[in-house]
Amino acid sequence: MFRVMLFVIFTLSCLSAVAKQKSGVKYTSTVDSALTIHKVSMLPTIDNIDRIFSKPFDDRLRELLAEDRQWDHIQSYFSGALVTPNDLIKNPKKVISISKNLGTDALLITEVRKNPKNLILSLNLFSAHDGRLLAQVQNANLSQASTQKALEQLTILYRNLKSKLPYDGLVLSRSKNRVTLNLG
Residue 62 is predicted with a pLDDT of 94
- For residues 56 and 62, the answer to whether their CB atoms sit within 8 Å is no
pLDDT digits (tens, 9 = 90+) for 85-100: 999 999 999 999 999 9
Backbone φ and ψ for 178, nearest 5 degrees, come out as -105, 125
Residue 136 is predicted with a pLDDT of 95
Residue 110 is predicted with a pLDDT of 93
User: pTM (2 decimals)?
Assistant: 0.77
User: At CB < 8 A and 24+ separation, what contacts does 24-31 make?
Assistant: 27/171, 27/174
Residue 124 is predicted with a pLDDT of 97
pLDDT digits (tens, 9 = 90+) for 6-47: 454 555 555 544 444 444 555 556 766 667 888 999 999 998
Q: What is the mean pLDDT of residues 136-157?
A: 87
